[in-house]
Amino acid sequence: MDLTERFLKYVKFDTQSDELTNMTPSTPGQYKFAEYLQKELEELGLQEITLDENGYLMASLPANTDREVPTVGFIAHLDTSPDMSGHNVRPRIVSHYDGGDIVLNEAEGIVLSPSEFPELMNYVGEDLIVTDGTTLLGADDKAGIAEIVTAVEYLLNHPEIEHGKIRIAFNPDEEIGQGAHKFDVKAFGADWAYTMDGGEVGELEYENFNAAVANVTFRGRNVHPGYAKHKMINSIRIANQFILMLPRWETPEHTEGYEGFYHLVKIEGDVEKTTLTYIIRDHDRDRFERRKRELEHLTRKTNNEFPDCASIEIKDQYYNMREKIEPVMNIIAVAEEAMRLAGVESKVQPIRGGTDGAQLSFKGLPCPNIFAGGLNFHGRYEFVPIQSMEKAEKVIVEIVKIVAR
């Protein structure tokens, strides 16, 4: 089975994660997909294949050399984003893309256009896999899974390529921030690993946001509006006042690069009680801590005006993996050299988000992130160039060769 065929088969599995189920994996489709992959890996002839009750699938390609070679791992996630349906995905290949509009769904007037997505022009002449406009595609991260499996199959078919032991793993629930929570680093047994979970071709990432979630709750007092003077406390209005106290320009729509932000992701409430949910992001650990303290300060300030009205709960989610990667920067050099040998120009850049690799790095498995090739993740305009997936597969093979050297 070639890479494209494999990917097109994988996206047929509905593997959306769901943070509300409180289960691992959070949805049954992920486990069903893992079972399919388990059988595929068995048929390929991999060893030490394990699939635990939480949906973590691991396997080994044994070393074919007697020399002592580090064990390197490759990881991708089973789930797709809850942001859009992954049910009944109907992918289509646009061969030799000509640089024009791509009609995804004529009946609904859904068009993938370079006027809105100028990055399309970087792939003129290539073969793009697109959606039918009603679902996401699932290149995040089924492209990564397909690339890893295809690279391992290539190595099995080319025993003349010397390599050490290679470990692969596919985990659930990355999209809801829980992919590394039950990942058994000791059982995985790699010296370091790479997540194949980046975007466009060339991406190489070992810096990510420090991340936290904050729930700010405001309690009010409801009184008949006709008789409410000096009695009513409207929690919605107080919450709105709180929102306006935060810096207007420190939001996702006004930031880029290393700039952090406060992002209001949910409002729930009525006069009696309103809750704001924020995610807090910053690459710099000190600024990250200051952002959390600022939310706490504004909560106290609100209580000065409306006594005992506001409360806040902040929970850290993950941290910038850079502090764990910097002592082992040779693994970045390996990835950069592999990209060069695969004909790819590496683009080292910070992740404006997080990956399983960030949490795994803090669990003792240094784990930077490499491109899988897709673009416009989590929505109907997602696409992946076949040539980008092929380059990602080649990068995996070149990493294995370099490590063996």
Condensed to tens digits (0 to 9), the pLDDT of residues 216-250 reads 999 999 999 999 999 999 999 999 999 999 999 99
Question: What integer pLDDT is reported at residue 120 of this predicted model?
Answer: 97
Question: What integer pLDDT is reported at residue 268 of this predicted model?
Answer: 97
Q: Which of 132, 140, 173, 174 is catalytic?
A: 174
Report helix, strand or coil for 44. Answer: helix
Question: What integer pLDDT is reported at residue 23 of this predicted model?
Answer: 95
The question of whether 174 is a catalytic residue gets the answer yes
The CATH number of the domain covering residues in 210-318:
3.30.70.360
- Strands (DSSP E) contained in 34-145 are 47-51, 57-61, 72-77, 92-94, 102-105, 110-112, 128-130
Q: Which of 14, 79, 173, 203 is catalytic?
A: 79
| Positions of the chain with pLDDT lower than 70, given as ranges | none
For residues 398 and 180, what is the distance between their CA atoms, to the nearest angstrom?
A: 26
For residues 135 and 114, what is the distance between their CA atoms, to the nearest angstrom?
A: 20
Beta-bridge partners for 93: 129
Question: What integer pLDDT is reported at residue 399 of this predicted model?
Answer: 98
- Are 127 and 385 in contact by the 8 Å Cβ rule? The answer is yes
| Per-residue DSSP letter, 253 | G
Architecture category of domain 3-207+321-404 in CATH: 3-Layer(aba) Sandwich (3.40)
Question: What integer pLDDT is reported at residue 188 of this predicted model?
Answer: 98
For residues 358 and 280, what is the distance between their CA atoms, to the nearest angstrom?
A: 16
Question: What integer pLDDT is reported at residue 97 of this predicted model?
Answer: 97
β 310-318/192-198 pair status: unpaired
Question: What integer pLDDT is reported at residue 308 of this predicted model?
Answer: 95
Question: What integer pLDDT is reported at residue 354 of this predicted model?
Answer: 79
Terminal-to-terminal C-alpha distance of the chain: 29
Residue whose entry in the numeric block shows the structure tokens 């494999």: 6
Question: What integer pLDDT is reported at residue 266 of this predicted model?
Answer: 94
**Region(s) of the chain under CATH 3.40.630.10:** 3-207+321-404
Distances (CA, A) of 188 to 63, 100, 300: 15, 45, 46
Q: Which residues contact 328 (CB under 8 A, 6 or more apart)?
A: 192, 366
Question: What integer pLDDT is reported at residue 355 of this predicted model?
Answer: 83
**Region(s) of the chain under CATH 3.30.70.360:** 210-318
Question: What integer pLDDT is reported at residue 89 of this predicted model?
Answer: 96
For residues 213 and 52, what is the distance between their CA atoms, to the nearest angstrom?
A: 29
Question: What integer pLDDT is reported at residue 353 of this predicted model?
Answer: 81
Question: What integer pLDDT is reported at residue 175 of this predicted model?
Answer: 94
